[in-house]
């Protein structure tokens, strides 16, 4: 082989190596950009999932708001019951008739000259 031919082959090989480096450089830049985009997408998905399903997420917030509303209703009911019981205590302390009514209704007591009839609700007696 002649010197010129060898030189031509060396130059051709060098050009191929340089062009491969350029393509690799471009590929690395594209790969880096793709990796950055993929990382960003994964981070956004993780943040979205965390903000919807996490301990402080939207679903948990909605559940806690529902619990708060249920507790408000229960509190109002308990306050009304407390007020009713407080008025009953005042009535029992001040009125002998209220004490008598309570004794008759809850304890089944009667005066000595009275007869008490208990009417049971439920199953009817079979006819004879």
Tens-digit pLDDT profile for residues 85-124: 999 999 999 999 988 888 888 888 888 888 877 788 877 6
* pLDDT digits 0-9 by tens, 37-54: 999 999 999 988 888 888
Asked whether residue 48 falls in the same domain as residue 15, the answer is yes
Q: ∠41-47-53 over CA atoms, to 5°? A: 130
Residue 24 falls within a domain, yes or no? Answer: yes
Question: What's the structural domain count of the chain?
Answer: 2
Stated as kind and residue range, the H or E segment containing 126 is none
Please count the residues of the chain: 128
Match 């903000």 to its residue by tokens: 51
Three-class SS of 46-62: HHHHHHHHCCCCHHHHH
Q: Is residue 127 part of a domain?
A: no
Say what the pTM is: 0.50
């Amino acid at each position: 082989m002649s010197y010129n031919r060898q030189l031509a082959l060396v130059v051709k090989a060098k050009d191929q190596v340089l062009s491969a480096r350029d393509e690799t450089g471009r590929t690395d830049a594209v790969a880096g950009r793709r990796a950055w985009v993929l990382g960003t997408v994964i981070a956004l998905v993780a943040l979205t999932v965390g903000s919807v399903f996490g301990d402080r997420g939207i679903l948990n917030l909605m559940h806690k708001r529902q619990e708060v509303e249920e507790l408000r209703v229960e509190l109002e009911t308990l306050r009304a019951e407390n007020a009713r019981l407080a008025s009953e205590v005042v009535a029992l302390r001040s009125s002998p008739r209220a004490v008598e009514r309570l004794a008759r209704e809850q304890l089944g007591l009667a005066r000595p000259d009275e007869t008490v009839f208990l009417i049971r609700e439920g199953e009817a007696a079979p006819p004879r």
